[in-house]
Amino acid sequence: MQPTLSSPAVPSAPSAPSLVEQAFLRLRRDVLTGAHAPGAKLKVEELQASYGVSSSPLREALNRLSQEGLVRADDRRGFRVAAISRADLADVTHMRLLVEVQALQAAIAQGDDAWEAAVVAAAHRLERAEANLGEGPLVLDDTWSQLHRDFHLSLYAACPSERQRALCASLFDQAERYRRFSARHRTTLRSKLREHRRLLDAVLRRDAETACALLAEHVRGTQRNVEAALTRMEAAAEAGRPS
């Protein structure tokens, strides 16, 4: 009896994102970039017309964004983009300092060579993208923003707690909305290239104390930058008011 030869397995093509996932990703991007302004009402009927998606996936996407802290559900079962405020920024920063710094410490202790190589690769991609940015004060490049996120999350990837890694990602996204806000109101260039290089060097040396201190200062720098932007906005608004 001749042995039968089985056909080689053909890898299946990746499935297309569901309607909920598509709505979630588009809404999330528009909230992060400020296309939906902080505090703006998110009316499902208007979103249906803008996104070409029915109400059910939109509501599920809005609920997911609410869980991430980017959208708030109001008392009348509607949704609003989370407001931007000094108090909320301080809370996000406080949580990042607690969660992300500890995650980095755990990752440095637990990370293997593969983790280290992934961090180096993410840093290289980010540095190349940053080198292509202009010298002007306005930095709203989507590619850079995604690579910036990839680099930071690669740092925490060896943290053994899945929940902690997920919380790191959520907090980073909440801070990203503030970074985008400050970039729109920036008057001077804030290049992060040197900060990222110093952080990478400390991680590769497995110097957890220095790396964690650099990360904490990096996070606080975002807070200071946003607070400066808020101060400039308030001063401009005050100057424009009739006496």
Q: What are the residue boundaries of the structural domains of the chain, listed by start?
A: 19-81, 86-240
Q: How confident is the model at residue 7 (pLDDT cuts 50, 70, 90)?
A: very low
pLDDT of 10 higher than 90: no
Q: Which residues contact 201 (CB under 8 A, 6 or more apart)?
A: none
Query: CB 57: neighbour CB atoms within 10 A?
Result: 18
| Residue 240: alpha-carbon gap to chain centroid | 33
- Arithmetic mean of pLDDT over the chain: 86
- Angle, helix 193-204 to helix 142-156, in steps of 10 degrees: 20
Q: How confident is the model at residue 90 (pLDDT cuts 50, 70, 90)?
A: very high
Which residues lie across from 72 on neighbouring strands? 80
How far is it, in rounded angstroms, from Cα 82 to Cα 74?
10
Q: Residue 80: in which H helix or E strand, if any? A: strand 79-81
Decide yes or no: CATH 2.60.40.1940 for domain 86-240: no
Amino acid 141: pLDDT: 72
How far is it, in rounded angstroms, from Cα 165 to Cα 69?
16
Given its phi and psi angles, is residue 3 left (phi above 0), alpha (psi -120 to 50 degrees) or beta? beta
pLDDT of 68 higher than 70: yes
pLDDT tens digits, 35-60 = 898 899 999 999 999 988 899 999 99
CA Rg, the chain, in Å? Answer: 21
How far is it, in rounded angstroms, from Cα 148 to Cα 59?
29
pLDDT tens digits, 143-189 = 888 999 999 999 999 999 999 999 999 999 999 999 888 877 665 55
Q: Which residues of 164-184 are buried (b: 16+ CB within 10 A; e: fewer)?
A: bbebbbbbbbbbbbbbbbbbe
Amino acid 137: pLDDT: 45
CATH assignment of 19-81, given 3.40.140.10, 1.10.10.10, 3.20.20.120, 3.40.50.300? 1.10.10.10
pLDDT of 8 higher than 80: no
Contact (Cβ atoms closer than 8 angstroms) between residue 193 and residue 135 = no
Amino acid 34: pLDDT: 84
Amino acid 191: pLDDT: 63
